Every structure is written in structure tokens, then in C-alpha cells.
Amino acid sequence: MIKKIILATVALLTWSAAVSQIHKMERSDSSMTDRTYTLNPVVVTGSGHHQRLKSTATPVHVLSRQEIKEQGITTFDGALTRMMPQVSMAPNSMGTFLRLNGLGNKYILILVNGQKLTGDISNNVDLNRINMARVKRIEVLDGAASSLYGSDAIAGVINIITDQPTQQLVSLTSDTRVSGHGQLTENITLDIFKNGFGSYTSFSRDQADSYRINDVEYVKDSETETQPTIAPFFTGYRANLVGQKFTYAPNEHLALNAGIDYSYKITDRPNTRKDITGGTDYEMRYKGLRWNVGGIYKFTSRNSLQADFTVDRFRYGKQYDVATKNYAIDDYVQSKKQRSMESQLKAILGLMNNSTTIFGADWRKDYLTATSGNINQNAYTAAAFAQHEMLFFDKLTATVGLRLTYHETFNWHLTPKATLMYAPGNFRLRATYSAGFRAPGLDELYYHYFSVNRGKAQIIFGNKDLSPEKSNYFSLNAEYRTNMLAVSVTGFLNRINDMVIRQNIDVDAPTLAMLRGEFPEMTDDQAGKLERYSLYKNSDKGDVKGVQVNVSANLFRGFNLSANYVYTYARTCSEGQWAPLERSIRNAATVAANYYHSWGNYALNVNVNGRLQSKTYYPDYEDAPGYGIWNLNTTHSFDGLKHLYLEPSIGIDNIFNKVDRRIDSSNRKYALYSPGRMLVIGLKLKIK
């Protein structure tokens, strides 16, 4: 009955909006035009310089601030998974396991304004370090992009572009969103801009409670016997982020900036109890500090020089909230500390008519200290790159790029790129080849890791003889784009060699004696339970191929419809045997319908969006079933007061209450983490 009521409500809202548009209001509405979706936004990630989306020879996906807002999204993972079918995420206490076109975190380069974001926990990214209060747009580049961006850009690049107003103003904004299971996001910003000087202050709070779908789990090695548990299906957390940025542009040629972000996050899990399983003695605590300075000097409109320097620190560890034999409540034990320093110098030049040339150099140094991994290492990378883009015969654009990288451990490496775009009228035909490489991480090289989880020892050895991973990416794209309609079809192939994996090795008597010599802290009980240990090695090769289809249309004034579909066949070959890549998804789609209309000082926005995907492959576990999630969000804007803008919102997440109700077991993995249908309420206030 509830489902029918919700469906009827959605249908009524859509029908009412359509009728109001057909008959039209007598009042002219200039803001309506302002809210029409821009199907040709400015992007920077594909080519390394600003240009319109239809003009870039490398296909780029763009999530605008307007689209993110209209769907009622306030988190980074929500923005990607609701709007980009090629992205999937699996949250856990260690962060978020992110996948792009079947390839995991370590193959995805996450940038903030072109600068790498440092900080991961066992290859799980701490996405709470991304300041959603300042996001202007999110640009996603599929496939290898090492010619411009260096190591790690094998699966693709996610570049978060932040924004700061440049009009004379002083404004204070608060944006709050609450829903079930203690979910709360709060963003507060204070913007000041006058006479070329800008100050942009922000505070973000993101929190959620732990929850379970059911109260039991299967007993280990059994699929029939169950036991009560309080182990969280979704791990709760509390996260804060404070940011400050200053800008100064004394004239039309020079613009300077400096900024700092501090992030803090701690998990919120059930404590250990004697009467039931699943509790923990400690919480995972993370801290990050990132600061940067930079500037750009524009000699002319087509010639500029840009410089940036960024320092990023990230650390995490265990904070005890249960007294144990060795630790008291509130004791903190650091597990891992990462630090990076990166500097970049880039010249964007119009040396000839109808061409853009980029020359650049960057230097980066990474540090890793891990107590449990017995690591205190660092490595630097230096690189020079060049790219030339040329327009021929008014319709043909060719781009060639090359990056020469020197890695302290792996010496020299070349990564080329070549693209071709033919642009007759509103059509675009593109062909792309790009190479990628990934230098093994300091943990993969030097780990000497020993840890105990629920009484069982975990041992991992690094390997100093690893080789860099290499990839070759090919894509063909056909696109039709006007102010009313954009249709894009892309076929791609990404081949990766020398993939670094963790090989599990069975423990026999001689091996156990060796391991106890390496780790004398191992107890007899832990040694008796040890079945295998892990060693990093170059073993597998990967093959990812697929097709993406993207459609967006301004069907009539105020109404936009977008649909995105991706078919991905991702597999890996280990010891001559091919198998689906773990956590890969064969079919996925996202759909969004948005209607906006205003009557005087009141405006209504209605958005219905959904994500649909087939099963998630887990070669060593039971596959996770596919699902479809639909959401509704409505916002109501009131702009009649002189200095106050008011925007309440109300919506429903997971309209049809789709939940993966399978009982936890040691052989079971998940893809859907939703707790079910939830009412979502928000309020945005802006003092101007």
C-alpha cells in the first residue's frame, strides 16, 4: 500500500508540473532559463586546460553542483553512485572501497583542483576528506591518463573542482540534511569578496549510526546455524572538516591562492560484550591536514603560467573505548601515517593559431610510517610532460602528449597519449589511445606486517622486486550535442599487465617456524590458528572492456531527463586462469528526471533518480545480487526576503524499500548497504 501511495505521489507531482508548464503562467520567469541544464559545461581534466565539453578530444563525465543539489545529495559517495553507473562503492570501518569500471582504489587517481588527495587505509579511501560544501563540479575521466597525471591513473581520474564566489559580497550559508539511522550532514560557509580579495571559510559535519539489517549471523563454517550478533552491517562514524581559503587577484593577469583543510573522523561501533559477538574494543580514528599555495599569471588570454605546491598529511589508528589487558579507555595507538609533498609548474600556451600547447614539470615525495607494518620509508618522483593540441580544417582536432617520469625506485618510464576528434556540426567522433602506469606503493614494497584481528594473526610481506603496473587504454566515442540534447556512446578497452596482488601462501611447519622467527610477538594460540600468510607479487593481468551510453535532454522548459548505462566486462588472469574481477559489475544504469518552476518568490524543484545494477562478482565468495534503488527529492525555495534565502527540502531515499536481507556469513559479500526506506529532510539558509 505504501509503495502505491508513493508511486501515486510521484506521478501526481510530475503530472502537475507538466500541466503547469503546458498552460504556462502569465508571469515571465527569467530564473527558469537560468535553471536549464547546461549540456556543454567547461571542463579541465581531459585536456589539462579549460575548454567546453564538446570541444575536448577526450570524453569527460561531469557532475555539476546543480545536479548534485537537485538530487538532494550531500556526500561525495552519494554523488558518484547515484549519477555515474561506472562507479561503485563499498563502505567499511577502514573507509570506502571505490571502483571505477571494475578497477579498484589503487588504480583511481583522486584529485582536488588537479592535486592528488593522499590518505588511504588498506586501499580504502577516506572520502570524508572531500569538502562537499565547496564542490563546483566533479569531472571523471575514464581510462589511463598517466601522460598528464602520472602514476595511479590507470582506471581513470576523478577531479573535484572547488568554487569560490568572485562577486562583491558577504554571505553566510547553512545547509543541513537529516534522515534515518542518525544520518546528518551539515555544511556552513562564510564567503567574503571585495576588491580582488576573497576569504572562504567552511565547516562540514557528516555522521551516521551503525546499523544491521537483521540481528543474527551464520556461525562460522555453517550455513544453517545462526547466532545473535551486534557486528555492524554498516559502520557508523562522526566526521568533521574545517577549511579556509584565501584568494587575491590584484589585476586581470595575476591570481594567487592559499588554503588549508583539517579533517577528523572516528568510527562509532558497538562495544565488546561478553554475552554477544560482534562488538569491538576500539574505534578507528583518522586525521588529515592538507594545505596548498599557488597562483596563475596570464600573459594573454591564451598564454598563462601556473604553479602549485601542496602538502598533505594523513594518519589513522585505534582509539580504545573498552579497557583491555594492554590499553585503557581513550588510549590511542597509531597504525599508519602518510605524508606527501607535491609541486607543479605548468605553462599553457597558444603558440600557433588553433592550437594549445602544454609544458609542465612536477615533483612529488611520499612518506609512509606504519607501526604494524614495520615501515618508515619514502620515495620521490620527478616528471616532465608535454601536450600539443591542434585544430585542422576547422573540424579535425589531434592531440599528442608524452610524460617522462623518474621514480626513485623504478627509474624512468614513458607514457604517451594520442587522440583524434572529427567534429562535423553537432556531431563528435573521437578515438583515444593512452598509456598508464602505477608504481607499487611503499606498503607493497616494504611491508613487514603483523596484526591480530579477533584472535587471528594476519601477516603480510612486501616485495622489493616488484615491477610497475602498466596499461594500454583504447576508446572510440560518438557524440551528438546541442543545447537541448546530448547523446554519447563510448566503447573502451583497458589492458593491464604486471598487476600487483597479494598471494596467499599456506603455512606448513617449516614456514610457521620462519614466521615465528620474523614475528616473535606471535603467541602459541595465534600460531595454532594461522593457516596462511600473504606476499605481494606481480602476477595477474587485467582486461576491462565495455560500452557506455549517456543521454541528457532538456525536454521542455524546466524539465530535464538524463540516463546513463554502462556494460563492463572486467576480468583478471592469474596463473593462466581467467575470472571476473572481484567486485566488478556487468550492467549498471542511473536515471534522473528533474522539474523546476517558480511562481514569484517561490520555486519548486522535483527530482526522481534511480540506480540499477546487476549482480556484483566475488570469485572467492557468493556473488552479491543486483538491485534497483529509487529516490525522490523536492526542494522549495523562498527568495522574498531582502537578506535571507530559505530553501527547505523533503524527500524519500530508497522509495521501494530495497534491502539485501541475506544473513551474514564468512562466504558472503554485499553490494547494497541501504538500511531501507528513509524520510529525508533538509534546510538551507543563506544570509546575503
For 239-251, what is the mean pLDDT? 95
- Cα angle, residue 94 at apex, residues 138 and 581 outer, rounded to 5°: 70
| DSSP string computed for 172-224 | EEEEEEE-STT-EEEEEEEEEEETTEEEEEEEEEEEE--B-SSSEEEPTT-SS
Contact 623, 616 (CB under 8 A): yes
Closest CA to 130 of 110, 149, 114, 150: 110
Beta bridge mates, 536: 502
pLDDT of residue 594 exceeding 60: yes
Q: What is the chain's alpha carbon radius of gyration, rounded to the nearest angstrom?
A: 26
Contact 356, 389 (CB under 8 A): yes
State the cell numbers at 179.
534522515
Distance between CA atoms of 635 and 71, rounded to whole angstroms? 9
When pLDDT is cut at 50, 70 and 90, the band that residue 427 belongs to is: very high
Scanning 382-450, the segments in alpha helix (DSSP H) are 442-446
When pLDDT is cut at 50, 70 and 90, the band that residue 121 belongs to is: low
When pLDDT is cut at 50, 70 and 90, the band that residue 17 belongs to is: very low
Q: Average pLDDT over the chain, rounded to whole?
A: 87
Q: How many helices (H) and strands (E) does the chain have?
A: 8, 38
When pLDDT is cut at 50, 70 and 90, the band that residue 54 belongs to is: confident
State the cell numbers at 361.
614539470
pLDDT of residue 122: 59
525 vs 361, more confident: 361
379 vs 221, more confident: 379
SS3 40: coil
The domains found in the chain, sorted by start residue, are: 2-687 (2.40.170.20)
Summarize pLDDT for 357-380 with one digit per residue, the tens: 999 999 999 999 988 778 899 999
Distance between CA atoms of 119 and 364, rounded to whole angstroms? 15
DSSP 8-state assignment for residue 128 = G
Whose grid coordinates read 556531431?
A: 427
Distance between CA atoms of 160 and 63, rounded to whole angstroms? 10
* Mean pLDDT lowest among 21-35, 86-100, 289-303, 420-434: 21-35
User: 663 CB contacts (<8 Å, ≥6 apart)?
Assistant: 214, 216, 217, 218, 226
User: 192 CB contacts (<8 Å, ≥6 apart)?
Assistant: 169, 170, 198, 199, 200
How many Cβ atoms are within 10 Å of 150's Cβ, its own excluded? 25
Summarize pLDDT for 630-667 with one digit per residue, the tens: 999 999 999 888 889 999 999 999 999 999 999 988 78
Distance between CA atoms of 233 and 235, rounded to whole angstroms? 7
For 190-201, what is the mean pLDDT? 93
547 vs 121, more confident: 547
pLDDT of residue 414: 92
* Mean pLDDT lowest among 34-43, 137-146, 273-282: 34-43
User: 105 CB contacts (<8 Å, ≥6 apart)?
Assistant: 97, 98, 99, 120, 123, 124, 125
Distance between CA atoms of 578 and 543, rounded to whole angstroms? 10
SS3 30: helix
Helix (H) or strand (E) holding 405: strand 396-407
pLDDT of residue 483: 86
To the nearest 10°, report the CA torsion of 478, 45, 287, 98: 20
Contact 157, 434 (CB under 8 A): no
Closest CA to 411 of 385, 434, 445, 383: 383
Question: Model pTM?
Answer: 0.89
Closest CA to 51 of 558, 555, 423: 423
Contact 95, 174 (CB under 8 A): no
Beta bridge mates, 292: 259, 310
Closest CA to 498 of 449, 458, 465: 465
SS3 542: strand
Tell me which amino acid residue 79 is.
A
- What's the longest Cα–Cα distance across the chain? 87
When pLDDT is cut at 50, 70 and 90, the band that residue 129 belongs to is: confident
Distance between CA atoms of 152 and 98, rounded to whole angstroms? 14
Contact 319, 281 (CB under 8 A): no
Q: How many residues does the chain have?
A: 688
Distance between CA atoms of 348 and 44, rounded to whole angstroms? 12
pLDDT of residue 131 exceeding 90: no
Residue 9 phi/psi, 5-degree rounding, is -65, -45
Tell me which amino acid residue 656 is.
F
Distance between CA atoms of 121 and 235, rounded to whole angstroms? 15
pLDDT of residue 245: 95
Summarize pLDDT for 282-308 with one digit per residue, the tens: 999 999 999 999 999 999 989 999 999
Summarize pLDDT for 478-516 with one digit per residue, the tens: 999 998 999 999 999 999 999 988 888 999 989 999 998
